Structure 1
Amino acid sequence: MFTADELAVVRAYARQVAATAGTTNPRIGAAFAVVPREKFLAAPPWQIASLGGGYRPLLTADLVLAYQDVLFALQPDRGVNSGSPSLHARMLAELDVQISDRIAHIGAGTGHYSAVLSELVGATGHVYAIEMDRDLAGHTRSALADRANVSVIIADGSQWPQQEMDAIYVNFAVARPAEPWIENLRPGGRLVLPLGVPRQIRPSSSGRHASHGAALRIERGARGFAARWIGTAYFVCANGGLTIDENEIEALTAAFKRGDIEFVKSPIWKTEPRIGRFGDQWALCYDEP
């Protein structure tokens, strides 16, 4: 339980996160304010990411320290972190979560943002938290055990969801969307994902992160799929079934270096792109759908 002073810190943190994210949706800040972040962190001593790379330990496990807009290490040897609250607040605002939505959270980690999603969908909605790593998924199951509207599934994120969803939220960098993320969006459904290409050199102390990265929003409309750039975003890169070949990585790297990703308006999916080909039958383009 929070003391009155600690609760004031938590509420201030939630307001700061929403303000930094640039969202005016009051539901975003309210969801961050009621989810206890320390419940989803690794066991103390906590480590936070340093601006110059690597991690540094916090000297105490005072739970108030969990309520700052920094990255906490979950698996430092793999570069897996808790995620920047303000970045996630911005991406979740773009996901446009509604009460009663069914949402697939791909790459749930220890479940912090699954818990935020569960607040946003309410008791009549449902969140499917997909995590491939069994250690992380075990933490997630324990931390979310009191949330009846969340199901934790240990699986490769490239294979989920397996039914139509109102929204899909991806929390690792990919060089292309997985087929279920596009095919299982219902009409009006939204997909938010970090598009990125891995660094060529893996640091010895962490996992492989994106060297170029951008968060995108894709929506299924009556005339096809629309895409919108959300902002710069660097996540740890995907493993498992989402690993792609070097030719696709080179094509996407060249596209990032050319710039103008902020002007994309639609994805080309399962048709042969005229220009801008990234991989097999998909690309991003500047035309309206």
Structure 2
Amino acid sequence: MLETYRSDYAEQIARLTDLRDRRIELAFAAVPRENFLPAPPWTTISSGIATQTSSLADIYDNVLIAIDRKRGINNGEPALHADWLDAVSPQPGETVIHVGAGTGYYTAILAHLVEPGGRVEAYEYEADLAAKAEQNLSGYSNLTVHAGSAFGQSLPPADVIYVNAGVVAPDVEWLKALKDGGRLIFPWQPEKGWGPTVLVKRLPHGFSAAPLMTVGFISCSGTKEKAAPKQRLIETDLSSVRSLWLTSDRSPDANAVAVYEQVWFSSQAIEG
């Protein structure tokens, strides 16, 4: 019965997101979601409505599940993550950095997607969540859980950086860690609470940036960036972004949408 729940759930997620890569559906079917949750009864959240349940069938649905309601920490919406995974397309043999691993559910899915030969380096700032993630992921030989911030420190070279916490601006070290052709996806939240998902790709002449769906994530802990734009950004500003630059590589110009201490967003696309 449990395998049926997981396979039906994975099929539902694939339908909702129109997945291009069926490996993502298979990864959702393979990973037991309940192994990464608190003990039942669980609190599921859909359209802002919270419901308590002890039924496994109810957690195999496109719902948030509370990990710690007081801190606003959830096991995120599966369809959203499936969309993100499809966008960054982790491949066998690649290295993924997972920022904001929580209790490890989506870390496990990432670990499946880079098999064989790939690795996941997972970072979780909250010590209790990191300890729980390490316990939950103990059976995975191709990943390491790091208890601490993924901000402001050198990171291993990565093909994919997958960020599950809202940031005012991406950390410069994430961009430096991206290999040629590497992909970064993160929730850009210059105004706390909501903002666009941004997909960044490292190209030969810079970093392309594409705003995707609007999302709301808990803010990333351990960050030090400040909201530098002098004027409040509006939706048209956010949707106009086409590239991302290090201020050390190129000074902001007339196409700048948002300028921070170490990075800036531009409305000009990367040429070539």
Q: What amino acid sits opposite 2:228 in the alignment?
A: E
Code of the aligned partner of 2:110: L
Contact 2:237/2:257 (8 A) holds in 1: no
Closer, same or farther: CA 93–8 of 1 in aligned 2, 3 Å = same
Q: What is the Cα deviation at residue 235 of structure 1?
A: 0.5
Is 1:35 the counterpart of 2:15? The answer is no
8 Å CA contact retained: 1:273, 1:281 = no
1:9 to 5, 30, 42: 5
Q: 8 Å contact 1:169–1:193 — kept in the other structure? A: yes
Mapped to 1, the partners of 2:48 and 2:110 lie a distance apart of 31
2:212 alignment partner, SS class? strand
State the shift of 1:239 in Å: 1.8
CA distance in structure 1 between the partners assigned to 2:52 and 2:190 by the alignment: 29
> Equivalents in 1 of 2:14, 2:230: separation in Å?
36
Q: Please list every run of 5 or more consecutive structure 2 residues that lacks an aligned counterpart in the other structure.
A: none
- 2:268 is the counterpart of 1:287: yes
Indicate how the Cα distance of structure 1 residues 89 and 41 shifts in structure 2: closer, same or farther if over 3 A, else same. same
Correspondence for 2:251 among 272, 282, 285: 272
Following superposition, the deviation at residue 160 of structure 1 comes to 5.3
Matches within 5 A, 1:170-249: 170-199=163-192, 210=193, 212-240=194-222, 242-245=223-226, 247-248=227-228
User: What is the 5 A alignment of 1:57-206?
Assistant: 57-58=52-53, 61-159=54-152, 162-199=155-192
SS in 1 for 2:188: strand
The share of aligned pairs that are identical, in percent, is 32
Alignment-mate amino acid for residue 46 of structure 1: W
- Which SS does the other structure have where 1:10 is aligned? helix
Alignment CA distance shift 1:281-1:161 (3 Å): closer
- 1:86-115 C-alpha deviation (Å, 9 max, x unpaired): 000000111111100011100000000000
TM-score normalised over the length of structure 1: 0.86
Q: Distance in 1 between matches of 2:218 and 2:191?
A: 8
Aligned partners of 2:25 and 2:230: how far apart in 1? 39
RMSD: 1.8
How far does the alpha carbon of each residue in 1:131-181 deviate from its partner, in whole angstroms, 9 at most, with x for none? 111111111111111110011110112145622111110000001001211
Q: Residues of 1 paired with 2:96 and 2:153: CA distance?
A: 11
Displacement of 1:32 in angstroms is: 0.5
Secondary structure class of the residue paired with 1:225: strand
Which residue of the other structure, out of 16, 25, 47, is the alignment partner of 2:43? 47
**Is 1:49–1:72's contact at 8 Å kept on the other side of the alignment?**
yes
Give the number of aligned pairs.
Answer: 266
* Structure 2: distance between partners of 1:93 and 1:258: 24
**1:51 shift after superposition:** 2.8
TM-score (norm 2): 0.91
- Shift of the 20–228 alpha-carbon distance from structure 1 to 2, 3 Å rule, reads same
